[in-house]
Amino acid sequence: MLIKSLTRGEAGENQVTPEDVYLNRRRFLQGLGAGTALAATGSQAGLLDFLSPSAPQTPATGAAPRAPLRYQAGKLESGLILTPEEKATNHNNYYEFGTDKTDPARNSQGLKTEPWTLRVEGEVAKPGTVDIGELIGSAALEERIYRMRCVEAWSMVIPWVGLELGKFLKRFEPTSKARYVAFETLYDPEQMPGQRSSFVGGGIDYPYVEGLRMDEAMHPLTLLSLGIYGQTLPPQNGAPVRLVVPWKYGFKGIKSIVSIRLLEKMPPTSWNLLAPQEYGFYANVNPEVDHPRWSQASERFIGPGGLLDVKRQPTLAFNGYGEQVASLYAGMNLRKFF
Amino acid sequence: MSTTSQPAPPRQYRKPLVRVLQVAVHLGALLPLVWLFYAIPRGALGGDPVKELIHFLGLGALRLLLLTLLVSPLARGLGFGQLIRLRRPLGLWCFAWACLHFATWLSLDLAFAWGLIGDELVKRTYILLGFSAWLILAVLALTSFPALVRRLGRRWKTLHSLIYPALLLVCVHFWWSLKSGWIEPAIYLSLALGLLWFRRRLLPWPRKLPATSKP
């Protein structure tokens, strides 16, 4: 079902949510939520706030501005529930801005994302740089609603907006020698406190680097994301451009990318360098291979409910995208290449 | 801090001061929990507060444990013996925080999936360490009622020396539980080792605890 919605250009104009409706949907939903919450809890609303859906706000003062995007709307796979935007933008791993889940939203709002150039080089016939502002304006963007599984055993469902990485890379004409793709996050200690101090940055050797095999990078599910929830990315989610590989653990989705390099050899990756026994290069979501310190067989889904509304669900092989991607790993021992 | 100068407050103020400090201990341990009720819905612990909440409660329990163990060296150093009255409330609050920490993990993280919980307790050494520390704290909390303290007599002291291994277990549990970074757990471990160093002569099994004499 999901695959169908992805076959290029199939969704007609009538399927695209009108922008004003889309842009106002949150206000509508908030109003709806507030109404039901009020009706349900009545005068005790204040006390029972603890149990009701948390509605954290992006820091009001100095929150980085976001712009609405034009894109072809995606479909929500049946059975999936969207993670509320407030949760997806206030629960982030972005160690450049601190290791607590709330640190990135708090510390990243000043990140300067304009202008932003992304370099594509290495084993390509036409190396070059791309201005992300121009890319946002010119590329045919589409929405992809994906499950997101963090290696820490929690998950979300997030509507990404972006373009297929494969299509993007083809512009630069990869050579036959290109077998891997290496990505690099901005290195700017002045803007990123985690890069200034190992105490803030969790001991990672910055800049953060990630990598994919060429066939993984060219897979139609792999997304170069420029936005979430209909708008450009907020800094804590990796503005202005990040990677989304839905069948892999979230740490593969490198944020705020400045460089993409096509290579003959497998590139190093940050978490693997920090703890090779815990994080592999492939990092495919696999319920059968536990993290040394916790089980990967199930996950806590972060949905619209309150604190006590715990939804523990089984983790799916390849995060539920096995039908599309399992063949990439045919014959590989996924316990060894975790 | 020398014992000869004894910078304790004048005798007549000591009793009321201890009272005030006792109230401060209760408020200090209770108010952060009250704060959680208001802060969580307002997003202070992030979009998904479960992990942060577990961490907040665990770290709070560790801090209370360190404070509990600070009482007797402080009382001795200051020549202010009545300070010892702070030790029991601090220890019990530490246990309360540890219970909340454990209960949050059981309920909000693992959703009472008992099969998974059993597996995790056995398979993950750092969870086993934390669980062992919690069991020790439970025994100490249950044997801290004045009537039992009197009945146990000398054995009470021996039993309650278990707090030292518990402290080390908690520090290692904390260190091991982190995805990355070592500075913060190293600070807590050094504080713990410092507190044990004060007592190096009093420890009932100094030879069996090599970790305390290493640094």
Kindly provide the ipTM of the predicted complex, given to two decimals. 0.75
Range of the domain at B39: 11-213
pLDDT tens, B152-201?
Answer: 989 998 999 999 999 999 999 999 998 888 899 999 999 999 999 988 87
Identity of the amino acid at A188? D
What's residue B204's pLDDT? Answer: 58
- How many other CB atoms sit within 10 Å of the CB of residue A80? 16
If you search the block for the tokens 């002045």, which residue do you land on? A190
Give the chain B residue whose CA is nearest to the CA of A89.
Answer: B47
pLDDT above 50 for A266: yes
Closest-CA distance, B51 to chain A, in angstroms, reads 9
Determine, for residues B124 and A293 on separate chains, whether the beta-carbon distance falls below 8 Å: yes
- Banded model confidence at residue A41, pLDDT cuts 50, 70, 90: very low
What's residue A87's pLDDT? Answer: 93
In a domain, B92, yes or no: yes
Identity of the amino acid at A157? V
Question: What is the overall mean pLDDT for chain A?
Answer: 86
* Over residues A42-68, mean pLDDT: 57
Whether the CB of B122 is below 8 Å from some CB of chain A: the reply is: no
Give the chain B residue whose CA is nearest to the CA of A292.
Answer: B124
In a domain, B114, yes or no: yes
Backbone phi, psi, residue B114, to 5°? -60, -35
In a domain, B5, yes or no: no
Contact B79, B6 (CB under 8 A): yes
Looking at the 3D structure of chain B, how many domains does it have? 1
What's residue B179's pLDDT? Answer: 81
In a domain, B184, yes or no: yes
Determine, for residues B46 and A91 on separate chains, whether the beta-carbon distance falls below 8 Å: yes
Whether the CB of A129 is below 8 Å from some CB of chain B: the reply is: no
Domains and CATH numbers, chain A: 53-329 (3.90.420.10)
Query: Which residues of chain A have a CB within 8 Å of the CB of B110?
Result: 312
User: Which run of H or of E encompasses B149?
Assistant: helix B146-152
What's residue B210's pLDDT? Answer: 52
Backbone phi, psi, residue B26, to 5°? -60, -45
Handedness of CA A210, B175, B112, A303 (dihedral sign): negative
By CB neighbour count within 10 A (0-12 exposed, 13-18 middle, 19+ buried), where does B2 fall? Answer: exposed
Whether the CB of A41 is below 8 Å from some CB of chain B: the reply is: no
What's residue A243's pLDDT? Answer: 98
In a domain, B55, yes or no: yes
User: Which run of H or of E encompasses A158?
Assistant: strand A154-164
Query: Which residues of chain A have a CB within 8 Å of the CB of B108?
Result: 307-308, 310
* Over residues B138-160, mean pLDDT: 92
